[in-house]
Amino acid sequence: MLPPPQLRNMSTLGSNIAQRNRCWYFHSADHDCFRKGGDRCFARNSETGENENHAIIDNGSCVSLHASSIATALMAFNASVVSINGEGEKKKVTMDDFFVPPSKDIAMENNLQTKEIILPAPTKNTKSAYIKQVARESYDWSLGDLAVVFEVSGNTCRTASIVLGAAAPVPYRSMEIHPTNSSANSFALETPMG
Ligand SMILES: Cc1cc2nc3c(=O)[nH]c(=O)nc-3n(C[C@H](O)[C@H](O)[C@H](O)COP(=O)(O)OP(=O)(O)OC[C@H]3O[C@@H](n4cnc5c(N)ncnc54)[C@H](O)[C@@H]3O)c2cc1C
């Protein structure tokens, strides 16, 4: 379900969320794709594009997938990232703002060094779940993963935060639920859970 033990022991949360996408064209020196300043997306080509394990959502100009599994869960819990930019300035951004989608910047570089990840403490009414589909039973990247965080009150779900991983170039927050308050990251539901 996860990276091999050596990586689990040695890597950091900062490097996990900053890991590069796994698009084979992006990694190939022979393919000058949009994201490397080129003029096309090789994966998107309907005749020759090998686009298994590529984005199915928000896949306008770049169809690479964001590879971090834990980013899916951290975003669902409305975590924030404290980073330092090239000028040494420290700033705190939500996970939603931390990841740069190709529609904003095709190179998708944020040039920030992660110093801390802040996870708000769940309340006693918080319910959460994370599921991940992989091709192999041993360590592997995800084919698709999903994190949900609900605030419940009795039998009623009051807010829900739902994030899809390995679906888009950055972790993808599902906006299918209608927002009913000013918080961009939580959405009220009146769905009985019983
Ligand atoms: C077989 C296999 C299976 C894997 N499966 C999964 C999986 O299921 N889920 C998953 O999430 N990952 C998976 N991984 C990826 C693995 O977890 C990452 O490689 C790891 O988290 C990153 O650690 P690293 O030591 O390789 O990082 P590095 O190579 O050291 O860093 C990765 C990138 O992050 C940058 N970086 C490092 N630290 C910071 C920082 N503090 N701030 C900003 N940028 C930084 C580096 O410059 C580099 O560009 C898998 C890897 C392998 C080999």
- At 161-181, the pLDDT tens digits run 999 999 999 999 987 654 455
CA distance 92 to 83: 6
For residue 5, the model assigns a pLDDT of: 76
For residue 137, the model assigns a pLDDT of: 76
Q: How far is the CA of 193 from the centre of ligand 1 (A)?
A: 37
The count of domains in the chain is 1
In a domain, 145, yes or no: yes
In a domain, 141, yes or no: yes
In a domain, 16, yes or no: no
Provide the whole-model pTM.
Answer: 0.88
Give, using CA atoms, the residue closest to atom 39 of ligand 1.
Answer: 15
DSSP summary character for residue 15: H
In a domain, 159, yes or no: yes
Q: Tell whether the model's pLDDT for residue 152 goes beyond 70.
A: yes
- Residue 137 CA: distances (Å) to CA of 2, 28, 50, 90, 167: 10, 27, 24, 40, 20
Decide if 155 contacts 194 (C-beta within 8 A): yes
In a domain, 25, yes or no: no
Residues of the domain holding 183:
126-192
* 11 band by pLDDT with thresholds 50, 70 and 90: confident
We report the CATH number of the domain holding residue 182 as: 3.30.390.50
In a domain, 137, yes or no: yes
Dihedral of the alpha carbons of 53, 137, 69, 157, in degrees to the nearest 10: 110
Q: How far is the CA of 42 from the centre of ligand 1 (A)?
A: 24
Instruction: Looking at the CA of residue 115, tell me the nearest atom of ligand 1.
Output: 41
Q: Is 4 in the pocket of ligand 1 (CB under 6 A)?
A: yes
Contacting residues for 58 by C-beta, under 8 A, at least 6 apart: 101, 103, 168, 169, 170, 172
Q: How far is the CA of 17 from the centre of ligand 1 (A)?
A: 7
In a domain, 166, yes or no: yes
pLDDT digits (tens, 9 = 90+) for 71-114: 999 999 999 999 998 889 999 999 999 999 998 988 887 778 99
Decide if 164 contacts 55 (C-beta within 8 A): no
In a domain, 30, yes or no: no
Q: How far is the CA of 181 from the centre of ligand 1 (A)?
A: 36
